[in-house]
Chain A
Amino acid sequence: MTVTTKRPPDSSGPAGPGGGDRLPTRPSGIRPRSKLRQRLSRLDGAVSPYAYISPFFILFAIVGLFPLLYTLWVSLHQWNLIGGQGDYVGLKNFTDVLGQPFFWKALRNTLSIFVLSSVPQVIFALLIAAALDSGLRAKAFWRMSVLLPYVIAPVAVVLIFNDLFGDKFGLINQVLGYVGIDPVQWHKDTLSSHVAIATMVNFRWTGYNALIFLAAMQTVPRDYYEAALIDGAGRVRTFFSITIPQLRATIIFVVITSTIGGLQIFDEPRMFDQYGQGGADRQWQTLTIYLYNIGWTQKNFGRAAAIAWLLFLIIIVFALVNFVVTQRIASRESR
């Protein structure tokens, strides 16, 4: 690609003092006097960067930053979905939420589903990536095959898996029956419901993360493997002693992003049954479902805003914890 410009080459000289009173950008094709052009050009360089970033930041201020701060404001007031703003109540919404057993139950459920989805997911994604990185024929085909679930909307994934996890006639229980295992009460038992929901998350994201790991694996210098091979290390040994430590940054990244996403989980538990409340005993109600119910079913926006802030703080805490833990684990491998 080449630069086309109508300017004569002699027009570039020492630039005059900056500033000016004209618009920073001008339509090309107009040819004012040389001095003026230089000034305009300087002004252009100084001002137009802001013109390029401002659309994003203006929009961000309106639909990103403002709601964030406004949430804090709402959370400090009595606020009804229909009635609107009420009295200032200080931190009462927060203490109310923290005093609700359902909040703690929702927190436990969210964490349990998160652990059940992220840990197996990272392990499987690493294994799939290792398999994809092992000199396959028809590479593109295998890579695409693991990514297919990613394009299925979570809502569609839940509907499919709800049928598979049916308590009475579901395929999974039927298959378990062939092996002599009693039907699992996926929609009654707490842990089983968490496993079912985590399976849906894993279905959609494992292949995606495997491709991230695959890309990282391909950047590991092959000399390392060569040296290990000479030292007589086997495939399994090199995987744990070279691949995993080399992938440390990537693993941390995947864990952090899945923390941010996983703790907000809504679609799958919301649609796990047709009532959307998170089960008869709220056994799979997550924090976001709780937030939705308080805000839009009970119409208590003040409390919902408080839950939103608590959720945010929880996410930050867990992202940090996961960062430290993953770093520890990955560093220990490298020794």
Chain B
Amino acid sequence: MTAPTLVPVRAPEPTPARRRLTRNAIRRSQASPVAYTFLIIVLLASVFPLWWSFVIGSKDATAINSGDVSLIPGGNFLVNARTVVDTLPFWKALANSIIVSTAVGVAVVLLSTMAGFAFAKLRFRGKGVLLVFVIATMAVPTQLGIVPLFIVMSKLGWIGSLGAVIVPSLVNAFGVFWMTQYLKEALPDELIEAARVDGASIFRIFWNIALPAARPGAAMLGLFTFIATWTNFFWPFIVLDPGNPTLPVALQQLQARYYVDYSLVLAGVVLAALPLIIVFAVAGRQLVSGIMQGAVKG
């Protein structure tokens, strides 16, 4: 459950105008107070844990263990953050997370766009079977491969290196499926036929026609892959050394070291969560529309 999802859904029939009309008639464009109240509760539930970790992360150990509950932050956040940064390889973990997530995001987008282009728009023998194969592999759990992957990585001497995290993540069947679906719609067949008739090579069509058309879908895929890779814990935890972690692996060490002092643990959580919260602030709308587009396509 780490990637955006495509769900088969029946397509809407009515014309836009009629749809708007009936929609308004039904909904009278007014949400009930019940809906707002419910969503405010949901909003609080979404935000509260983050706020709470900032509250705790900004206090000192004695204030927390005194037992009184307060939702107002203390003044100790920077001190706690300094301790976290000094005791963990925090900057290294941050750099590693950026490197790994960017490399995986870019490579997955590239591989998926190429394969998606071929599956969506080119004719070749075995296409149907191969596409079904890709879809079937989406159901195979990552856990199934970790034992041999670990054996392979240790034979290669990659244990502890970022390559061991990056390379297995490059294969993303979901990405291929997503780009196939995206390009099917975004790229008219006639355009390709015309270009072929005019003698354009497949590479030219890919480069000059498919890539520009794929850009919005590819950006979305890159964004979701980046987040999924950034938040991934299981495999990096297995192959990376404590001295060369990604952020989630570093956070795990924080818990092992400071489980008695939650002000430090949660200050670390806030620090580690900040980069993706910034991504969310910038690209949250794109994430929402990515999930919603994925849901109706396919």
Q: Give me the interface of A with B, judged by CB distance under 8 Å.
A: 1, 3-5, 7, 9, 11-12, 25-26, 28, 37, 41, 44-46, 48-50, 52-53, 55-57, 59-60, 63-64, 66-68, 70-71, 73-74, 127-128, 130-132, 134-137, 140, 142-157, 159-164, 169, 171, 174, 203, 205, 207-208, 211-216, 218-223, 225-226, 229, 246, 249-250, 253-254, 257-258, 260-264, 266-267, 271, 273-274, 288, 291-292, 295-296, 301, 304-305, 308-309, 311-312, 315-316, 319
Provide 10 A-B residue pairs closer than 8 Å at the C-beta atoms, listed in order of the A residue: A52-B115, A142-B43, A143-B288, A160-B269, A162-B255, A218-B296, A219-B10, A260-B139, A262-B1, A295-B146
Q: Say yes or no: A1 contacts B209, CB within 8 Å.
A: yes
Within 8 Å by CB of B234, from A67, A258, A288, A301, lies A288
Interface core residue of A66, A159, A162, A261 (most chain B CB under 10 Å):
A159
A216 to B266, CA, bound (A): 37
Q: Are A159 and B251 in contact (CB under 8 A)?
A: yes
Given A5-B200, A312-B141, are A59 and B234 neighbors across the interface (CB < 8 Å)? no
Which residues on B sit within 8 Å (CB–CB) of A304? 147
Give the CA-CA distance A288 to B13 in the complex, in Å.
Answer: 45
Could you say which of B11, B35, B42 contacts A146, with CB atoms under 8 Å apart? B42
B22 touches A226 (CB 8 A): yes
Contact A50 B141 (CB under 8 A): no
Q: Which of B1, B150, B254, B262 lies in contact with A258, CB distance below 8 A?
A: B1
State which residues 63-82 of B face A: CB under 8 Å. Answer: 64-65, 67, 69
Assess the B269–A48 pair: CB atoms within 8 A: no
Q: Within 8 Å CB of B127, what residues of A? A: 49
Q: A3-B209, A145-B43 are in contact. Are A55 and B147 (CB under 8 A)?
A: no
Interchain CB contact under 8 A, A215 and B200: no
CB distance from A137 to the nearest CB of B (A): 7
Point out residues on B near A: beta carbons under 8 Å. 1-2, 5, 7-14, 19, 22-23, 25-32, 35-36, 38-39, 42-43, 45-47, 49-50, 52-53, 56, 64-65, 67, 69, 111-112, 114-115, 117-119, 122-124, 127, 130, 137, 139-152, 167-168, 170-171, 173, 176, 191, 194-206, 208-209, 212-213, 227, 230-231, 233-234, 238, 247-248, 251-252, 254-256, 259, 262, 265-266, 268-269, 272-273, 276-277, 279-280, 284-285, 287-288, 291-296
- Residues B8 and A249 in contact, CB atoms below 8 Å apart: yes
Cβ contact within 8 Å between A215 and B293: yes
The one of A164, A253, A273 in contact with B7, judged by C-beta atoms closer than 8 angstroms, is A253
- Binding site secondary structure of chain B: helix
Knowing A143-B288, A296-B238 are in contact, say whether A134-B31 is a contact too (CB < 8 A).
yes
Which among B7, B14, B173 is the interface contact of A216 at CB below 8 angstroms? B7
Interface of A, secondary structure class, is helix
Q: How far is the CA of A225 from the CA of B14 in the complex (A)?
A: 13
Q: Report how far A3 CA is from B114 CA in the complex, Å.
A: 19
Distance to closest chain B CB from A99 (angstroms): 20
User: Which partner residue on chain B sits nearest A304 by CB separation?
Assistant: B147
- Return the contact of B272 from the options A4, A153, A225 (Cβ within 8 A): A153
From the candidates B151, B251, B252, B291, name the one contacting A212 in the complex (CB within 8 A).
B291
> Contact: B12 with A71, CB < 8 Å?
no
Provide the residues of chain B in CB contact with A64, threshold 8 Å: 137, 140, 145, 171, 173
Considering the complex, give the chain A residue whose CB is closest to the CB of B292.
Answer: A215
Does the CB pair B7–A212 fall under 8 Å?
Answer: yes
Chain A residue nearest to B114 (CB atoms) is A52
- Which residues does chain A contribute within 8 Å of B256, judged by CB atoms? 274
Known: A52-B117, A55-B114. 16 other contacts (CB 8 A): A25-B203, A56-B115, A71-B147, A74-B148, A140-B285, A145-B47, A159-B53, A159-B269, A169-B67, A215-B293, A219-B296, A221-B14, A253-B7, A258-B1, A261-B2, A295-B150
**Closest residue on chain A to residue B110 by CB atoms:** A55
Cβ contact of A250, chosen from B7, B213, B266, B268, cutoff 8 A: B7
| Contact, CB under 8 Å: B202 / A48 | yes
**B26 close to A229 (CB less than 8 A):** yes
Instruction: Assess whether A56 is in contact with B31, with CB atoms less than 8 Å apart.
Output: no
Query: Which of these, B31, B36, B50, B195, contacts A3 with CB under 8 Å?
Result: B195
Question: Which residues of chain B have C-beta atoms less than 8 A from A148's C-beta?
Answer: 46-47, 50, 280, 284
Q: A25-B203, A131-B38, A151-B227 are in contact. Are A222 and B23 (CB under 8 A)?
A: yes
When A74-B148, A250-B9 are in contact, do A45 and B32 touch as well, CB less than 8 Å? Answer: no
Residue among B1, B200, B205 having the largest count of chain A Cβ atoms under 10 Å? B1
Cβ-defined partner of B5 (8 Å) among A50, A159, A212, A266: A212
Please determine whether A49 and B202 come into contact, CB atoms closer than 8 angstroms. Answer: yes
Could you tell me if B141 and A260 are in contact, using CB atoms closer than 8 angstroms? Answer: yes
Instruction: Name the distance in Å between B11's Cβ and chain A's nearest Cβ.
Output: 6
Which of B5, B111, B276 contacts A152 (CB under 8 A)? Answer: B276
